């Protein structure tokens, strides 16, 4: 069992080392430190079209590599970050921006969560009010029901006492 565990750990380690060896590392030269900062800000702001929930800075997809190369070219050319993001949105669609514009097609994306919260609050308050106003919940027992309840309690106590005495006799 111990040997099997060692083999498993060794294979896992080799797999991790192999994945690190396959990872591509982009090395770009920047003319100034300001362009480097702009580059890093823009690549963190753009989403990889293939990976969907990763920015292009963290993605190893070929499309993300191409996008990083294009961002580097545009930053070195002197383009502003907003213009670079607009260029990428024009080329790849609104999806690549982590902050899409509010348009007819993105209303649900922007306002859907708020609408769901408001509807949920109405449902919760409606159910709570309905339960609080339920007349059967606070209803008093009438005389007949009270007598019947007393009779049932006495019968239950007497049958419980009989069962206890039977156990004592055994």
- Is the pLDDT at 161 greater than 70? The verdict is no
pLDDT digits (tens, 9 = 90+) for 74-124: 999 998 999 999 999 899 888 888 887 777 777 787 788 899 999 999 999
Provide the terminal-to-terminal Cα distance of the chain, rounded to the nearest Å: 55
Comparing 19-28, 65-74, 126-135, 139-148, which segment has the lowest mean pLDDT? 19-28
pLDDT category at 20 given cuts 50, 70, 90 is very low
- Is the pLDDT at 167 greater than 80? The verdict is no
Looking at the structure, give the CATH architecture of the domain made up of residues 23-101: Orthogonal Bundle (1.10)
Rounded Cα gap, residues 56 and 43, in angstroms: 6
Tokens of 141: 């027992």
Mean pLDDT over residues 16-28, rounded? 56
Q: Tell me if 44 sits within 8 A of 88, measured CB to CB.
A: no
**Where are the chain's structural domains?**
23-101, 106-169
Rounded Cα gap, residues 46 and 58, in angstroms: 10
What proportion of the chain, given as a percentage, has pLDDT over 70? 74
Q: Tell me if 76 sits within 8 A of 68, measured CB to CB.
A: no
Rounded Cα gap, residues 121 and 92, in angstroms: 38
């Amino acid at each position: 069992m111990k040997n099997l565990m060692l083999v498993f750990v060794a294979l896992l380690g080799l797999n991790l080392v192999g994945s690190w060896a396959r990872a591509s590392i982009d090395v770009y030269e920047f003319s100034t430190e300001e362009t480097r900062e702009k580059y890093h800000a823009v690549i963190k702001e753009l989403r990889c079209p293939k990976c969907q929930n990763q920015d292009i800075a963290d993605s190893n997809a070929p499309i993300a590599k191409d996008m990083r190369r294009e961002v580097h070219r545009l930053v070195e050319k002197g383009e502003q970050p907003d213009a670079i993001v607009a260029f990428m949105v024009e080329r790849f669609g609104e999806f690549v921006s982590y902050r899409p514009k509010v348009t007819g097609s993105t209303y649900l994306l922007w306002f859907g969560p708020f609408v769901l919260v408001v509807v949920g609050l109405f449902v919760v308050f409606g159910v709570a009010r309905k339960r609080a106003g339920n007349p059967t919940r606070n209803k008093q027992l009438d005389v007949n029901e009270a007598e019947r309840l007393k009779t049932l309690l006495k019968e239950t106590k007497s049958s419980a006492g009989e069962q206890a005495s039977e156990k004592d006799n055994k």
